Amino acid sequence: MMWRIACGLALIATMAGSAAAQPLTPSPLTPDQKGYIVYDRCMMHAAIVASHTDASDDEIFALAKSRCASTRAAVILGQENNRGYLAALDAADADKSAHFPAWIKGVRERRSTAQAGIAVK
């Protein structure tokens, strides 16, 4: 376990060093792509936070969507007429709604297993 942590830290340090050595260039992402990523990350983070509560696996999507409603509104601002963008966000929500329960169940199981392993040592 410590070996994995050490390798992870070494990888992060290497990535940070190489990122610092690269010149700053404008992002090739469009504003709608950036907005999609921001909303997606908000949903994923909110789901993980909610997984630490007593909420059932089936309730996690609704909790995450509620927590990220203002983020979604912000990333839509200026894109209200972009039907493709709105459809992509709706499709992402539909996918998360369908897959969050199983994903959160797995997250909770892995967390429980990891915590049990730490408690034993």
User: Hey, what are 38's tokens?
Assistant: 């921001």
Q: Is residue 18 part of a domain?
A: no
End-to-end CA distance of the chain: 11
Q: Is residue 16 part of a domain?
A: no
Mean pLDDT value across residues 96-117: 93
Q: Is residue 94 part of a domain?
A: yes
Q: Is residue 95 part of a domain?
A: yes
For the full predicted model, state whether its pTM sits above 0.95.
no
What is the pLDDT, as a whole number, of residue 7? Answer: 44
What is the pLDDT, as a whole number, of residue 36? Answer: 95
- What range defines the domain where residue 108 resides? 29-120
> Minimal CA–CA distance to 50: which of 100, 93, 98?
100
Q: Is residue 110 part of a domain?
A: yes
Average pLDDT, the chain: 84
Q: Is 54 within 8 Å of 64 (Cβ atoms)?
A: no
The number of folded domains in the chain is 1
Q: Is residue 14 part of a domain?
A: no
DSSP assignment letter at 68 = T
Residue 117: band (very low, low, confident or very high) from pLDDT cuts 50, 70, 90: confident
Long-range contacts of 107-116 (CB under 8 A, 24+ apart): 107/48, 107/51, 108/51, 108/57, 111/51
Measured CA to CA in angstroms, residue 5 lies from 12, 13, 19, 94, 108 at distances of: 11, 12, 21, 35, 20
pLDDT per residue over 24-33, tens digit each? Answer: 676 699 989 9
Higher pLDDT pick, 115 / 51: 51
Q: Is the pLDDT of residue 120 over 80?
A: no
Q: Is 48 within 8 Å of 7 (Cβ atoms)?
A: no
Q: Is residue 35 part of a domain?
A: yes
Q: Is residue 33 part of a domain?
A: yes
The helix (run of H) or strand (run of E) holding residue 72 is helix 69-76
